[in-house]
Amino acid sequence: MDFYEVINSRHSIRDFADESIPKDILERIVKAAYTAPANDHFRDWNYIVVTDKEIMKSVIEGVPKNLTVKDVDAMTFISDPIQKESYQIAVPKQYRMLIDAAAIIIPLMKKKVDIMKPSCLSDLNCYASIWCSIENVWLAAVSEGYGCNVRIPLGNEETVAKEALNIPDEYLIPCFIGVGRPAEGAALTKQIDVDYDAQIHWERF
C-alpha cells in the first residue's frame, strides 16, 4: 500500500471480524514502533502483545462494559454535532472494541519524570516520543490490512492491567491498542472537515 494511501486509510476501528493475526505479521507491526523518533535515543519502550482471550479479559477488566449513548448525552463538554455523533458510536464500544480485537497491544514507558506534574515542557518528551511509536504501530497495522483503536486508561484500568500482566511499577501504560481485521460494514466515525487554507500557514501565522 502506498504511504499516503496508508495515512488516508487510517480510521479508528471498533468492529472486528472474528479472525486472528499471524504472529509474524503482529511482530512486524510492533517492530515498526521502534523506528519512531526517541527523545533520548534509547528507544527503551516495551510492548506487550496479548492474543489469549482469557488474558485479554483480565487486562481490560477495569474498562467499563455498559456505557450507553445516554452517557454521551451527559458529557457537557461535547457541543459539536459531528463530535457528538462520533462519541455516540465510540463510547458504548469501549470494552467490546478491545475484547473483540484479535490482539491487544500494550505500550510501556519508564516513568523517568512525573509527567502529571512536569517542571517544564521537556519533561513531556518521553511521553510524546512513545506516542510517535504508537502511531507507527497503527500505520503498520493499516498497511497490513488491519485496523486499530486506542483507549487511554482511566480510573483503575492501568492498575488492573499491570497486575494482570506483572508489569513493574516503574512503567506507565499510555494506552491499550486493539488491533484486528475490520468487520464488514465496520462503523467509521465522521471527522470534522479541516480548512487547510485557514489552518496551514506559510512563513507567518
- Of the candidates 144, 162, 159, 174, which has an alpha carbon nearest to the alpha carbon of residue 45? 174
Q: Report the CATH number that the domain containing residue 143 is assigned in CATH.
A: 3.40.109.10
Q: Is residue 196 part of a domain?
A: no
What per-residue confidence (pLDDT) applies to 25? 98
What is the pLDDT at residue 112?
Answer: 86
Would you say 15 and 186 are in contact if contact means Cβ atoms under 8 Å apart?
yes
Q: 188 in a domain, yes or no? A: no
Tell me whether residue 203 is in a domain.
no
Rounded to 5 degrees, φ, ψ at 43 are 50, 45
In a domain, 14, yes or no: yes
Residue ranges making up the domain that contains 11:
3-183
Query: Within a domain: residue 193?
Result: no
- Count of the separate structural domains present in the chain: 1
Residue 18 counted as domain residue: yes
Residue-wise pLDDT tens digits, 23-72: 999 999 999 999 999 988 888 999 999 999 999 999 999 999 998 988 88
Asked if 60 and 104 count as a contact pair (C-beta separation under 8 A), the reply is yes
Has residue 201 been placed in a domain?
A: no
Residues 56-114 have pLDDT tens digits of: 999 999 999 998 988 888 887 888 899 888 999 999 999 999 999 999 999 999 988 88
Task: Residue 153: name the closest of 88, 64, 24, 21 by CA.
Answer: 64
Query: How far is 84 from 90, CA to CA, in rounded Å?
Result: 10
Q: Is residue 111 in a domain?
A: yes
pLDDT tens digits, one per residue of 135-175: 999 999 999 999 999 999 999 999 999 999 999 999 999 99
